[in-house]
Amino acid sequence: MPTLDPHEVVRALRGGGPATLDALHARLGAPERDALAWAVDDAVARGWVHSSAEADCGPDGICSVSAPAVFTLTPGGRAALRASA
């Protein structure tokens, strides 16, 4: 499975604003769903991205009874972009 760097997720959010997993999928050129989920999870774990996901949501942002998770860039994500430039 090809990998997706969490920096790419951060760049997609910086360039296009908050997004659902489907929107990130489209912005990033339709990467494999598992690779996207891993990259998003990594970015969230590093504090670069904030997820609106509730406790009933899976790691991919799919929720059983609530709206899909929305991912937003954090100040830590902006700092990571500056550091990688």
Domain covering 6-84 in this structure, CATH number = 1.10.10.10
Q: What is the dihedral of CA 52, 44, 63, 25, to 10 degrees?
A: 100
Q: What is the pLDDT of residues 25-65, one digit of tens each?
A: 999 999 999 999 999 999 999 999 998 876 656 655 565 66
**Domain boundaries in the chain?**
6-84
pLDDT exceeds 90 at position 72: yes
Q: Looking at the chain, which runs of residues are DSSP E strands?
A: 49-51, 71-73
CA–CA gap between residue 64 and residue 28 (Å, rounded):
25
> What is the pLDDT at residue 65?
63
